[in-house]
Structure 1
Amino acid sequence: MNDSTTPDGQAIRVSVCLAAYKGSLYIEEQIDSILRDLGPNDELVVVDDASPDNTAEVVKGITDPRLRFVPAEVNKGYVRTFEHAIGLSRGEFIMLSDQDDVWIPGRVDLMLAALADNKVVAGNFDVLGGGLRPWIPRLKASDSRKHAANLFAVLIGYRAYYGCAMGIRRDALNYFVPIPGYVNESHDLWLAICGNMAGSIRHLDESTVLRRLHDSNQTPAGWRSLAKIVKARIMILRLMVEALRRVRRRS
């Protein structure tokens, strides 16, 4: 066995990277749904961001050789926790996961098919238990190649990409990581910006995850203040410049 193979010497295909923090209520259900969709040569990397609850004990109580649990000593926030998990991943394809959702069966196959010819894939979500989605329109496969329009829509807040429904090929990670140090939220928009700027992202019409909406979600449920909106737009402009720089440097 080496760093990129399973105990029986098979190359690792998919790495699911999950950032956990105070997730003891829901994380076991999420992990079960992920493991059911993974194959024998895949892995699930869970990094716990120094949770003060019993998240670590819940995860360590799940016995599956594909699950790798890594506790962090210091809380760094979910963006850096995702970056840590990605750095530990070994698969050819990397998929992101929140701790409190439920994967829809068939997600892995859908995303792998899209990643065969694209650097980044982004799917949709439905609400766990039913209910209304946020007002922002669903992603459409027909918009996948409208890269300039997608970037403009991200800038004005009309195009939403959700990390819990996204994936990236390992050979494209040098666009995405390291995540710029000023990013403390919206790592999913950064990934979408990288994919669109590189001209290689696929939108899925299908939903790939059931999101659990509750008060502790990191994605804001309502409108932000004007100051926060302006600050976020400035950050997105900076990310677009950085993505263009990385794409040009690696082309």
Structure 2
Amino acid sequence: MSISIQEQPIVSVVVPTFNRANFLPRAISSILQQTFSNFELIIVDDGSTDNTDEVVKEFTDPRIMFLALGKNYGGGYARNQGIKAASAELIAFLDSDDEWLPNKLELQLKRLQDSDDPDATVIYGLGYECAEGQQKIPSLVLYEGDVLDHLLRGWLPPTTSLFMVKRSALLGVNGFDESLPSFQDYDLWLSLAAANNHFLAVNQPLIIRYFHDQQIRGNLVAKSTGLEIFKTKWGEIMKQRVGYIEYWRFISLKTSIIQLIRVGKSVEDGKKLLAWGYVIGLLKYLPWSANMIIKGIVLSTLGNNGYRAIFLFKSRINQLIKGYKTYQY
């Protein structure tokens, strides 16, 4: 379907980016290739110091708006600026290092149109994950309607790139919490659910989420600080609604992930004793840290390259087993 530039867009697509000029063309192209075309694309440059602006200029589609913030404020602020600049009632998000599958918008709009739930404002779905050239659909239970208790128990769709949300609902909870250096998406979904915004799900892959060296460790200070703010904001609600055990399980899992990143960073810096100290520290969070302890032992013993080699070997074995089962069937 072709549209004129004057037509009011039905969807505003918000893409925050910071120094991702090498990935951004893939993301932009996947949006422009959507089977549903009545949208505007708002690219929010959060103070990039690479050639992001030149990359965007290569795309001449009139639906693109480039919003340069001038300095780095953080993902929450950048997304909020995109929401404020949007002219459509439906906001869809895409991280600049991911890509959408061609029918992403079409499937989400159809799911919303087919719903008879007057409180439905959030639409998400499944997605592929791609790491080290290996692509899979991770296990995700799809919940609909009131999902607050599921979120409080730790259920979380893995990326904002999966989501489409009504702008009025986003503004109703003041968008992303800009005080959070991490956990911003989790906090937003909790805020929306707590305000009686219901979720709808598309039981099909909508995106490809990529993992790469620029994001593997991330900012440890931001992750730790974000978790502490998140605990202060939602901890008591978690304990009251789903119980202390569920709360401690959540904290244990999230802390264990941060601790494993510390293990990898210590090994990379040649500080193996420190790495082993972090592995031992994971014992505090048993039984929920068991998987991270195993990964930490492998990392501390074999290093990052050895860990990566085992990951690739395991992925290929799983693919062979899956292919064999499919052949047998």
Asked if these proteins are the same fold (TM beyond 0.5), I'd say: yes
Q: Does 1:171 align with 2:171?
A: no
1:14 is aligned to 11
Whichever residue aligns with residue 98 of structure 1, its letter is D
Q: Displacement, 1:190? A: 2.6
SS class of match (1:125):
strand
Measured in 2, the distance between the counterparts of 1:70 and 1:92 equals 19
Match of 2:43 among 35, 42, 46: 46
Q: Displacement, 1:199? A: 4.3
Distance 1:184 1:225, change over 3 A: closer
Q: Does 1:63 align with 2:63?
A: no
Q: Displacement, 1:109? A: 1.1
Q: Which has the higher helix share?
A: 2
Whichever residue aligns with residue 13 of structure 1, its letter is I
What are the Cα deviations for residues 80-123 of structure 1, in whole angstroms up to 9, with x where unaligned?
11111111111121101100112112100111123344201122
The percentage of aligned residue pairs carrying the same residue is 23
Distance 1:214 1:71, change over 3 A: same
SS class of match (2:33):
helix
SS class of match (2:211):
coil
Distance 1:181 1:70, change over 3 A: closer
Measured in 2, the distance between the counterparts of 1:238 and 1:14 equals 36
Deviates more, 1:74-83 or 1:39-48: 39-48
Whichever residue aligns with residue 94 of structure 1, its letter is I
1:121 is aligned to 123
SS class of match (1:32):
helix
Measured in 2, the distance between the counterparts of 1:7 and 1:34 equals 16
2:205 is aligned to 207
Distance 1:230 1:178, change over 3 A: closer
SS class of match (2:21):
coil
2:152 is aligned to 152
**Which one has the largest radius of gyration?**
2
Measured in 2, the distance between the counterparts of 1:71 and 1:226 equals 28
Q: TM-score, normalised by structure 2?
A: 0.61
Alignment of 1:77-88 (within 5 A): 77-88=74-85
Specify every segment of 5 or more residues in structure 2 that has no aligned partner in the other structure, as ranges. 239-329
Q: Displacement, 1:12? A: 1.3
1:182 is aligned to 179
Distance 1:146 1:177, change over 3 A: closer
Verify the 8 A CA contact 2:146 2:198 in the aligned structure 1: no
Measured in 1, the distance between the counterparts of 2:108 and 2:10 equals 12
Q: Displacement, 1:146? A: 5.1
Q: Displacement, 1:178? A: 4.1
Q: TM-score, normalised by structure 1?
A: 0.78
Specify every segment of 5 or more residues in structure 1 that has no aligned partner in the other structure, as ranges. 241-251
Q: Does 1:94 align with 2:96?
A: no
**RMSD of aligned alpha carbons:** 3.1
Measured in 1, the distance between the counterparts of 2:198 and 2:146 equals 10
SS class of match (1:17):
strand
Deviates more, 1:176-185 or 1:66-75: 176-185
Q: How many residues of Structure 1 are paired with residues of Structure 2 in the alignment? A: 227
Q: Displacement, 1:19? A: 0.2
Distance 1:218 1:71, change over 3 A: farther
Measured in 1, the distance between the counterparts of 2:84 and 2:134 equals 35
Measured in 1, the distance between the counterparts of 2:39 and 2:223 equals 42
Measured in 1, the distance between the counterparts of 2:42 and 2:225 equals 36
Whichever residue aligns with residue 150 of structure 1, its letter is H
Distance 1:218 1:110, change over 3 A: farther
Q: Which of the pair has the greater relative contact order for Cα pairs under 8 Å at 6+ separation?
A: 1
Q: Does 1:130 align with 2:125?
A: no
